[in-house]
Amino acid sequence: MNSFKTPAVLLLLSTFIIGFSNAATWSYGGSDGPGAWGTSFPDCAKTSQSPIKIVHAQTTADPTLGSFSTSMFTTTPTAMELTNNGHALQVNLVGGYTISDTKVLPGNYQALQFHLHWAANGSTAGSEHWLDGVQYFGELHIVHMNTKYANISVALANSDGLAVLGFFVKIEGTTDNANFDVILNPVRNGNVTYDNDVMPYATPFPISQMFPTTFNDYYRYPGSLTTPPCAESVVWTMFRDPIVISQAQAQVLQTSLYANEETAATNVLIGGNYRPTLDLNGRVVKRTGSGAGTMGKISIREMAVLVSLICSAIFW
């Protein structure tokens, strides 16, 4: 375990969102896995939960949804720390950027932290949300709080209290994504390995450097935290274009991070740290764009239907 000192404000942030302090324990498997969360955390049994399966053809175009721009994310936080919280790899922020464009979010939202979910070792499926039948390798969540609320506890009690921006993480090729290494190198170097390991960044960086080249197209729906306490306080944004990493980078996540502290009698690798998808229960998933367009891309399911129709017409 490393011996870095953690600023008090960052320590407070690391307690929230992923790994809330609570007498009850939870995990991604076993007797305290997702199926049992509702017993100790009542919100987890409610009907507007996350994650969900997004089917593009079943979403509703909303021309009022604006476009996110890189400039919204270029403010460098005043302090950042990387930590293993026992459930995920997380970066806590102090002085994170604030998004104030009401065309993209319904209020002013300040970034608090971001964290990762990924597939278990030996698997390629680890994202929380699915898109058109595909579960990606992983998913990056950037958690923001609505600044009209005094603190995180108040925000959690309101449906617009939090905004989470989600990016799918896709394995493609053998070339490393150099921008992604900013969170992987401390893991490779052994600075962050076990639960509660913390490494402050000597030089904070803008989160935007990790984003895909384009991120204009996204889906929007009302939902919840994907971990206990599962508060239904999240305005969800899931971007269509994924962050791409190499197989070697995926292996760092799958084989280097442990759920318990270094001194624990037993330990287990973190991985497969995703909640199974939940029903929409009447919620509407919106998307950017207008009409019945495909945002410049056609899904696998839509392509199959199109090919079937063309073949039927040819051989009629």
The pLDDT score that the predictor gives to residue 289 is 86
Catalytic positions are 87
Q: Is residue 210 part of a domain?
A: yes
Q: Is residue 263 part of a domain?
A: yes
Q: Is residue 2 part of a domain?
A: no
The Cα angle at residue 101 between residues 132 and 288, in degrees rounded to 5: 25
Q: Answer yes or no: is pLDDT of 159 > 90.
A: yes
Lowest mean per-residue pLDDT among 28-42, 109-123, 267-281, 295-309: 295-309
Q: Tokens 């509702």 appear where?
A: 38
The mean per-residue pLDDT over the stretch 90-107 comes to 97
Q: Is residue 1 part of a domain?
A: no
Residues 6+ apart with CB under 8 A from 163: 99, 105, 107, 109, 144, 146, 234, 235, 236, 237
| Torsion angle of C-alpha atoms 144, 77, 129, 188, degrees rounded to 10 | -150
Mean of the per-residue pLDDT values for the chain?
89
The mean per-residue pLDDT over the stretch 71-96 comes to 97
Q: Answer yes or no: is pLDDT of 6 > 80.
A: no
Looking up residue 222, the CATH number of its domain turns out to be: 3.10.200.10
Q: Is residue 51 part of a domain?
A: yes
More confident call, 37 vs 4: 37
Please tell me the total count of domains within the chain: 1
The pLDDT score that the predictor gives to residue 291 is 57
Q: Is residue 161 part of a domain?
A: yes
Q: Answer yes or no: is pLDDT of 263 > 90.
A: yes
Q: Is residue 3 part of a domain?
A: no
Q: Answer yes or no: is pLDDT of 24 > 70.
A: yes
The Cα angle at residue 90 between residues 27 and 151, in degrees rounded to 5: 90
Pairwise CA distance, residues 281 & 70, whole Å: 34
Pairwise CA distance, residues 8 & 295, whole Å: 44
The pLDDT score that the predictor gives to residue 2 is 52
Q: Is residue 57 part of a domain?
A: yes
The mean per-residue pLDDT over the stretch 43-53 comes to 98
Q: Answer yes or no: is pLDDT of 21 > 50.
A: no
Q: DSSP string of 105-170?
A: SSS-EEEEEEEEEEPPTT-S---SSEETTB--SEEEEEEEEETTSSSHHHHHTSTTSEEEEEEEEE
Q: Which domain holds residue 98?
A: 8-314
Cβ burial of 281 (10 Å; 0-12, 13-18, 19+) is exposed
Question: Could you tell me if 31 and 100 are in contact, meaning their C-beta atoms sit under 8 angstroms apart?
Answer: no
Pairwise CA distance, residues 123 & 144, whole Å: 30
The mean per-residue pLDDT over the stretch 230-248 comes to 98
- The model carries a pTM of 0.88
Confidence of residue 292 (pLDDT cuts 50, 70, 90): low
